[in-house]
Each structure stands twice: as C-alpha cells, then as structure tokens.
Structure 1
Amino acid sequence: MKRTRPARLGTALLCLAVSLTGCLGPSEGGDELSDQNDYGAATSRDVGTRFTDGVTAVEYTKGPIRLLSVKPIMDDGGTLSYLGARVRIMNNPAWLPHTTADEFPPTHPEMAGSTAVQDFIVPAPPSDGQTHYFELMFGFEVTKEGRSARRGAELVYEYDGNKYTRFIPSYVAVCSPKSIRTDCPGEDADGPDGTMPPPKPAPAASGLSSSPKATG
C-alpha cells in the first residue's frame, strides 16, 4: 500500500466529487463528526483478487451516532466490483488502521472486530482528552486490468434525532496487474478529475520489493 500526502478539499470540490449523488449541502450535520483533510493510498492487485480497503478513519466527537448506510464514491475506471462495507470502533486512538487485507470480510488480526454498517451505534467518546475514530472498511474485487479509484464515501447517519448525509474525503487508487506498483498514481497527483496518465508496469529489473513502498 502506497500512502500519499494529505490535500485539502474545498466545498466546491466536495460537490464535484459527489456529482452523481448531488451536493450534500446543509444535510451534512454538525461537529459530531470532525472536519478533516482528505487522505488516501494507492495499491496494486491482480484480476480476481478480493480485498478490504480500510483506509477510511472517521473522527467522532459526540454520540451516540447511529449509522444507516455508507457507499463508496467511485470514478469511472470500471475495474472494481463493490462487495460491501464493514465498520468498527478503533479502540486505540493513536493507532492508524491496517489499511488493506487480502480478503473481504477481513480476517487479518489487525482488522478484527468489524461488523455490518446498518444500525451500528457509535458510542459517545469518553472524556479522556484523546481523539476517537471509527473505521469504515470497503470490500472490492478486481474484475479487469486498469486503474480505478474510490474518491470518498457517502455516509448516512442519525444523531440527536436528525438524519444527515456526509461526504467522507478519503480515497484509494487500485491498479491492476499487481506488477504496477510505484507507477500507480494517487488521486492527489492531478486532482480528483481523473485526468491522470495511464500507469505503466514497473521494469522487470527495477529491484522493487514484494510490498509497495510508502511515500511521503
């Protein structure tokens, strides 16, 4: 998994990213979910691979919050089939999520404890001075070679008797075949409009390890 640098998104850009579902506008809710920079990663997988994308950690400051649904906001790459979503509370606030697993639902020990999103209750955070998160996990299957990206997620939830729809700005770019590694571009390379050059396979003698390299 190759992580990419954070990048800020303005309101207009958020509306663009969810153009298929409409601008979320005043239904986005209040400060029960903290505003955050967008962030993400890039990875490479072979056709036929199922995997868990666990990049999305959502900070919450109030509760209880009842989650109703979540769906990924995808580009038009068309190389991924969506399998569903899971959620869990991140009990260690200082711990970053294990970003991917090679199956869905995940069985990796560092991704244990996930459950269905619908009607999941996010409890009120303890008053311990720490930052608290819940993690959204998306399952995908790679169906053909090329590049696709999840540019965020649309989260529907209830808090304090009101229903809200919120755009969560995290992304993951997925290239296939797996031999494409450092040349798999992230969404912040040229912005979220999808105008990035097609990735090229890494040379056979590149000396790349079996795991993608982290980037700053």
Structure 2
Amino acid sequence: MQITDVTCYPVWGGQRNFLFVVVDTDEGLYGVGESGLTGRELAVMGAIDHFRPLLIGQDARRIEHLWQLLSRGGFFPHGKVLGSAIAAIDIALWDIKGKSLGVPVYDLLGGRVRDKVACYCHLRPGHTGGTHELVADAQRRASEGWKFLRWGLPSEGGLLEPGAAIRSAVAQFRALREALGDEVELCFDVHTRLSPAHAIQFCRAVTSFR
C-alpha cells in the first residue's frame, strides 16, 4: 500500500485556523490527521511540503519507520513546527492502518479503556487575564452542569511575559476556587509556553488550589 500524495487543508474555525492533512494511497484508502500548532499552519504546511517527496512511494503501513524517517532524517533535530507536521502525518497513517484492517485505531493501541469520557468546556476570556469575567463565565458554566472547566495561560496584548502570566494565573485559580468550591475540577493549559523553570514555579504556586 504505497503513499501517492499528502495534501494540506487549512480550515477557518471561527476563532483560529485548523490544519488537516490527508494522506492518499494507491489502494484508494486515505487517512486524515490534524496539526495542533494553530496560528502557524503555513509553517507546518511548508514542513509537509518538505516531507512529501520522502513519503510518496513509501508503504503507508510502516508507521514507526516513517516516523523515524521524518523525525531523524534531517541534520537538525525537529522542533514544534516539524513535530506538528510529523504528528499530523502520523495520525493520518494510523487512520489508514485502522481502515485497512477494518478496526478502530484504539484496538491497534491496546484496546478500549473506558466506555465514556468526561468532557470540559472552555472558559472565556481566561487568556486575557480578566479575572472577574472569567469567574462569571465559570459560574455560568457550572450552573449548566459542567464539572470540568478549562482555560489558558493569560497574556496581555498577545505577548507572553512569564512572570506576569503566572501571577495572573494564580489570581485566577484563587478566585475560581473561592467562587466554585471544590466540586468543580479546574483544567489549565499552558500550551508549552512556559519554560521548565517557570512551569515548576507555576505548579508550586497553584498546588493549594488543586
């Protein structure tokens, strides 16, 4: 089963762009993957343009081999852009593998673990540092029955200053926990934007708020 093409599809999602990647094969099967590096989709598309000649003609079922080829095949180690491109291709290859065998991908990865999963909702405007608005939105969501609430690292004007972001995030955690009590789980995403040292500082600061 040879790869015949790799095509990128950037899609506007209302607030940001999403990038989907389709890997086609000579047997008519195709796989769909997604790059998680939103906001840098053109860079990821450029990386996939580099990878395409390496992939065409390869056996789509050799997933690990192709991951090694893309990840270790260049002179420089891959970072976020190349890693996101590789991830999207990898997901698409697993999709092809599952389709070719007639099984869901989770069966290829050890089998189903649970019959249902908990869901969270996004809070707005957590990323802007507006604590009052964040708490109001969280209370509204909790009243709707949500048990898991998620927001992201606050930044001002789109430019991240780690120390200020951590201080704002700690204030948000404190305000949310005081407003919601302990029955709602707080989920926080830094999107890899903190260094290990700053991440440790942040985790220590919010430990008491669970």
Task: State the TM-score, normalized to the length of structure 2.
Answer: 0.23
Q: Which structure is larger by alpha-carbon Rg, 1 or 2? A: 2
Structure richer in helix, relative to its length: 2
Greater RCO, 1 or 2 (C-alpha within 8 Å, sep 6+):
1
